[in-house]
Amino acid sequence: MPLPFSHYCVVDFETYYDSEYSLRNKNLSMTDYIRHELFEAISVAVWHSTWDTPKVAAGPDVGPLLRSINWNETAFCAHHAQFDGLILTHHYDLHPVFWLDHPVHVADAVRRGRVAQPGRCQPALRVRGQGQGAGPWSR
């Protein structure tokens, strides 16, 4: 069966938080955090399967970078697709043709006794794998 996408894109948002408005606040769900009036996407790191290097955009440049991607033929991959995907759909009204969640694929590969699924989100490991806490891809 052919895949429903031609390309894939790894996305990681960095967002505003403070001591009370935070995902650590037990009274604020992830959905409430993203839909809250204080929500702000400070930056986004993006790697597309056709690009040689990742791109980073901040502030008003986040939307134009995301809108430059043809989501009708591009799968969305993230380390936490529920979080980053809700930001993409709720704040930018962009809807990828297919969703890939990096931890889900890693868990599946481990369960099946494979290190990774070739061609599925390995770029996420390459982009994010520049060392723990390194660069704009760390949380």
Q: pTM of the predicted model, to two decimals?
A: 0.74
Q: Which two tokens stand for residue 72?
A: 């009708």
Residue 58 host element (H or E): strand 55-58
55-58 and 41-48 strand pairing: antiparallel
Contacts of 10 (CB under 8 A, 6+ apart): 46, 47, 54, 77, 78, 102, 121, 123, 124, 127, 128
Higher pLDDT, 18 or 137: 18
Residue with tokens 């962009």: 94
pLDDT score, position 66: 98
How sure is the predictor about 55, in pLDDT bands with cuts at 50, 70 and 90?
very high
